Amino acid sequence: MPLVPGAEPYSHDGGPIGVLVLHGFTGQPKSVKPWAQYLAEAGLSVEVPRLPGHGTRWQDMNVTTWQDWYAEVDRSFTTLRSSCETVFVMGLSMGGSLALRLAEERPDEVAGLAIVNPAVHSERPDRFLLPVLKFVIPSFPGISNDIKKEGGDEGAYDKLPLKAAYSLTHLWSAVKTDIAKVTQPIVIFRSVDDHVVEPSNTEWILANAPSRDKTEVLLENSYHVATLDNDADIIFSGSLDFVRRITGS
């Protein structure tokens, strides 16, 4: 299946500090590549995988599950670990969810998390209908391009695949069940105006992750896809400063 423009994975061999950067649900690497390239230009090794079912057509997502997405995340992290002394994980939206899961599963290897508008639940009323609707309707209208900056395009699907969305809720449950394992330093960049992920998600993570090093950075001039929005520079420089502070580099 041909990839949509921008969906190619991104990789850069830099120094001994590595960063895994993850895109969101129905999105693709395009949404986080400028972030990844900024970190690469700063001398870091970087991997941006394309998660299974993403970056082709929305129907492909409905034959994948969160375990498929996580397996690709785990594989990419292992690649970085093979050549880097220290590896951080960063992600947008579901990419943040997967970053949290990786921190839970590989606590001694993930050095820290820098996540943007992460999700661990949804307040949408129709979420309760997903177990049934996924057998009846293949998709809902999409949630893509929640970007305040004019002309922004993350290259995401214009449909929300319901079987995949139902699987996403199981990822959230897994993350919440094991949140006590997240002891790494965390910085969360949260858009004040986000039409996809509610602020209660960041509130829950900060309240329940036992890490002693937790920071929230508010983004005043961006919507959900903040990595392509007006506050992108805050995310880029802030995440690099986070890495340098933790590593003393």
Active site residues: 93, 194, 224
Cα–Cα–Cα angle for 135, 173, 222, nearest 5°? Answer: 90
d(CA 198, CA 216): 15
d(CA 93, CA 190): 10
d(CA 26, CA 62): 11
Give the Å distances, CA to CA, from 147 to 98, 229, 230: 22, 6, 9
Residues 20, 144, 125, 178: what is their CA dihedral angle, to the nearest 10 degrees? Answer: 0
Q: Any alpha helices (H) in the chain, and if so which ranges?
A: 33-41, 66-83, 94-105, 130-133, 162-177, 200-208, 232-247
d(CA 112, CA 110): 6
Which of 115, 112, 116, 114 minimizes the C-alpha distance to 246?
A: 112
- Cβ-Cβ contacts under 8 Å for 138 (sequence gap 6 or more): 59, 62, 159, 161, 162, 163
